[in-house]
Amino acid sequence: MENKNIFIDNWTPETNGAISDICAQTAQTISWQLNVIIGLLFVTSITVIIFRILKRNGAITQEKYNQEIDGLLFAYIVISLTLAGWVFFYGM
């Protein structure tokens, strides 16, 4: 049975460079998206803390607090899942 592995049978010095370029581009894209997810988590956390302080001081009602937090967390989840899906499918 003949081995048809392209990286073994047809290896050239240029093949190594092409593989390195693809790996570098993929890592750069995934790094950017994960940084956005972490940044959104940080902003979401700070916003939740601010809303809790406002609620404790009586500046906003419990109902308004619940609406704002639900909307904020929903937006964070949607954006994070979108970026995570992009990372997953781009990395495949």
Residue 51: per-residue pLDDT: 85
Two tokens, residue 39: 């940044």
Residue 16 counted as domain residue: no
Instruction: Please give the residue range of the domain that contains residue 70.
Output: 30-91
Q: What average pLDDT score do residues 26-44 get?
A: 76
Contacts of 61 (CB under 8 A, 6+ apart): 55
pTM of the model: 0.53
- Confidence bin at 12 (pLDDT 50/70/90): low
Whether residue 45 is contained in a domain is answered as yes
How many domains does the chain divide into?
A: 1
Neighbours of 54 (CB within 10 A): 14
